[in-house]
Amino acid sequence: MNADIAAFKKQLKDKGTKGLVIDLDETLSWTVYYMAGELAKLYGNPQNLSVEELCERMNARDIPFWNVEEVRKWGIQALESEEMTEEYPIMEGSDKAVEKINHVIPVVGYLTLRQTSVRDATKRWLAKHGFPDEPVITRPNNLKLEDGMKWKADTLAYLYPQVIGSIDDTLDIFNYLPSSYKGTIFLYGQTDYPKSDLNIIPCKTWDDVYKKVIEHQLARGA
């Protein structure tokens, strides 16, 4: 495991701290919303779709009026842009919810597919929006994005039990987490998920995440 990640786990263990990590894109940061708006400026919006509708089309890879391969290449470059990283809009209600969650279960860090080259810009974005000042664990620059989800799952599994779980919007991570993983995933923005042996708690809104965190702690007798 990466030396920085190993040091992060050791620091938590030495302090006797256990807590949650939080994903960034589409969990705290509405990244695809910002990108959809920028792409409409660059490539046009002939159907006059709203930004929300463009986001849905992008997620479904259903944008016939854009060159999908060209857009994909632009997206990869955009994800490496410090300037753009600092401009992403915040997911509504996430700042207040995280502040409250931090009093129930400590937020000990952030675990993201963003690469290390934009870590500093990400830290500035988190500070600007008042999120807890905790380490940001980023994908190594030399690791391809398509290999990122396995890296993220492996990292989350490695950090257990100091990191008892995560708040994340991504269903893909379940394909890579070992079935023996004992942590808890608060699945933001989802009401359903594939059958799994993992401990998954769907939470449609950030208010739901906060309520489910409280219920989780009560169930554990904390």
Domain ranges of the chain: 3-29+90-219, 31-85
Specify the CATH class of 3-29+90-219 in words: alpha beta
pTM above 0.85, yes or no: yes
Burial of 75 (0-12, 13-18, 19+ CB in 10 A): middle
What average pLDDT does this structure show over 96-120? Answer: 95
86 vs 4 pLDDT, higher one: 86
**Strand arrangement, sheet containing 199-203:** 136-139, 107-115, 19-22, 163-168, 184-188, 199-203
Which of 33-37, 61-65, 96-100, 182-186 is least confident? 61-65
